[in-house]
């Protein structure tokens, strides 16, 4: 049958174990309009005016579930389907929230980093012998607090320590110091060591070559090394030999399907790294609103206020084609983050900063522009009725999963 141009959008609501489906028709619903599930419960099928459209659901539903009849005369139809998932599926989806792109464990001695714009190599293979994940900013704040409020080392305390497992404590402390995370140590760039946080790499200047720091990152005086923005680089790794993409990701909504993710990890868009950082801050600070502010131009008018509405979302849309992982394994939706967002002016931003429960995130202005473009572009995947919420725009941003 001919393919219909109506929009079908589905979201997996894992917290209530349901799949929400919205359909927007070009013409009003009539007696010929019918909705069904495939025999395996993996596809939603909509028949309207003799045209059939199918959509892979972001989760498997019960094939025996009877869908309610569409409302005649309406152009917007909706259904709630039960999610046929085991408890392990729920925990597996939630576990991906802590996934971080380009972490230390994904790097190796043969990792090579190059500029994403000119392809010039800035870190040769074999230069870095050891890769370490940097602790979060919260860890650094905690250590500063500990030093300021460190208890006095009284004699009684020393005596009590003698009766503890001193060898175990010594081993633990040595491990922390070796990783440069000891309370009495200061983390700084080291030759042959690559430090990794959510959005940057930290290297000694001597380990790098052919670099223009202002184009790729900045020199950090606190860490005595160069911090490179991950989104300015691309990498090759023998573990993923085809990781280097032939062209850079456009600054739009560029969700990566599971089948091609390994081939595109070398050029992830900036929004993925920023949103991974925001998800981390959501967990540590227990907030859902973030003000994106330019690092170099704090008075710039381009500031975005984000309200994270769904951090563990999986969706599928008839306007976004995702190829199957294999012929026998259809995709179960795309991992994403649902975001309510709006642009704010300088005066509004000043008042927003004073609000409790809003975290300010400083990133380069061009990254803010890319995120705005991605959010704007993503609206085409959503039904018109879901593109606004009061004074907020609604969009989707890509979420990283390993």
Domains of the chain with CATH codes: 7-85 (2.60.40.790), 104-236 (no CATH), 246-398 (no CATH)
Whole-angstrom distance, CA of residue 139 vs CA of residue 349: 28
Output the pLDDT for position 370. Answer: 93
Output the pLDDT for position 239. Answer: 52
Under-50 pLDDT residues of the chain: 1-4, 146-147, 155-178, 180-181, 183, 241-253, 255-263, 322-330
Whole-angstrom distance, CA of residue 175 vs CA of residue 167: 12
Output the pLDDT for position 339. Answer: 95
Whole-angstrom distance, CA of residue 341 vs CA of residue 321: 25
Output the pLDDT for position 319. Answer: 86
Whether residue 1 contacts residue 50, with contact meaning beta carbons closer than 8 Å, is answered with: yes
Output the pLDDT for position 136. Answer: 67
Output the pLDDT for position 299. Answer: 59
- Provide the 3-class DSSP secondary structure of residue 145: helix
Q: How far does CA 185 lie from the centroid of its chain? A: 31
Q: What global pTM score does this model have? A: 0.79
Whole-angstrom distance, CA of residue 197 vs CA of residue 277: 9
21: number of Cβ within 10 Å:
23
- Provide the 3-class DSSP secondary structure of residue 178: helix
Would you state the structure tokens that stand for residue 336, as one six-digit string? 């994403």
Which DSSP letter does residue 345 get? -
Report how far apart, in Å, the C-alpha atoms of 366 and of each of 185, 294, 300, 362, 371 are.
Answer: 35, 8, 11, 12, 9
Phi, psi of 290 (to 5 degrees): -140, 135
Whole-angstrom distance, CA of residue 317 vs CA of residue 313: 13
Whole-angstrom distance, CA of residue 230 vs CA of residue 273: 8
362: number of Cβ within 10 Å:
12
């Amino acid at each position: 049958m001919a393919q219909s141009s109506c929009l079908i959008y589905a979201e997996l609501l894992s917290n209530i174990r349901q799949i929400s489906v919205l359909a927007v028709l070009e013409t009003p619903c009539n007696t010929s309009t019918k909705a069904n599930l495939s025999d395996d419960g993996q596809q939603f099928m909509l028949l309207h005016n003799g045209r059939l459209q199918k959509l892979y659901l972001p989760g498997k539903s019960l094939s025996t579930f009877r869908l309610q009849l569409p409302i005649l005369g309406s152009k917007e139809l909706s259904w709630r389907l039960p999610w046929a998932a085991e408890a392990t599926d729920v925990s597996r989806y939630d576990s991906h929230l802590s996934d971080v792109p380009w972490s230390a464990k994904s790097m190796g001695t043969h990792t090579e980093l190059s500029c994403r714009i000119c392809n010039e190599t800035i870190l040769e293979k074999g230069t870095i012998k050891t890769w370490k994940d940097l602790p979060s900013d919260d860890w650094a704040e905690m250590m500063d607090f500990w030093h300021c409020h460190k208890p006095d080392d009284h004699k009684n305390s020393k005596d009590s320590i003698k009766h503890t497992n001193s060898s175990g404590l010594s081993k633990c402390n040595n491990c922390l110091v070796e990783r440069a995370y000891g309370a009495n140590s200061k983390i700084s760039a080291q030759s042959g060591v690559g430090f990794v946080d959510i959005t940057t790499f930290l290297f000694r200047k001597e380990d790098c070559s052919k670099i223009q720091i202002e184009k790729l990152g900045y020199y950090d005086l606190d860490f005595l090394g160069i911090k490179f923005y991950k989104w300015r680089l691309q990498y090759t790794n023998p573990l993923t030999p085809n990781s280097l993409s032939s062209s850079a990701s456009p600054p739009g909504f560029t969700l990566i399907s599971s089948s091609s993710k390994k081939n595109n990890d070398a050029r992830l868009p900036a929004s993925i790294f920023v949103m991974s950082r925001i998800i981390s801050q959501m967990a540590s600070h227990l907030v859902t609103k973030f003000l994106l502010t330019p690092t170099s131009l704090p008075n710039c008018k381009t500031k975005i206020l984000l309200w994270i509405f769904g951090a563990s979302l999986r969706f599928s849309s008839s306007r976004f084609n995702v190829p199957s992982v294999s012929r026998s394994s259809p995709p179960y939706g795309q991992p994403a983050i649902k975001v309510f967002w709006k642009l704010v002016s300088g005066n509004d931003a000043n008042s927003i900063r004073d609000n409790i429960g809003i975290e300010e995130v400083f990133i380069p202005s061009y990254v803010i522009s890319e995120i705005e473009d991605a959010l704007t572009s993503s609206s085409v995947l959503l039904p018109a009725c879901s593109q606004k919420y009061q004074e907020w725009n609604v969009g989707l941003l890509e979420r990283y999963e390993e």
